Amino acid sequence: MEFVQQNIFLIAIAIVSGGMLLVLTFRRPGGAKAVTASEATMLINRESAQVIDIRDPNEYIAGHLVDSRNIPAASLAERAGELEQFKEKPLILVCQSGARSQVACGTLGKLGFVRVHNLEGGIAAWGEAGLPLKKGARR
């Protein structure tokens, strides 16, 4: 007991920092769940998940997931009404590396979308997994 009294400040720091590590370990930004390319494929095939590519149109045209919809990150909040039918269904957000789409997941989460997923590693990981990309027109 004497040890605790003499080192209460150090013990408090240890408890707080441990708690913060636990929170960061289990928390996903924006409440989004990161999914791998194979997990995304299963969501698309089994639950008809809608893929939203949040990259700029020129990036999208260069190569995107088949049947994905292009809504650039800058206009995601104002165009969220286009996704109302997917509020309770799985949405997979995609960008080049997974960083921008992770932030965008938070935006949709705040707007009431409950099943928002971020493609871990983005288009780059999708391509590395050998999965198909389509080039051309926006949808």
Query: Closest Cα partner for 119 from 38, 60, 36, 32?
Result: 36
105 is catalytic: no
Catalytic residue chosen out of the listed positions 95, 104, 116, 119: 95
Query: Closest Cα partner for 104 from 43, 55, 35?
Result: 55
Alpha-carbon distance of 123 to 129, in angstroms, equals 10
Coil/strand/helix, residue 1: coil
Sign of CA dihedral 114, 90, 41, 74: negative
Q: Active-site residues: which are they?
A: 95
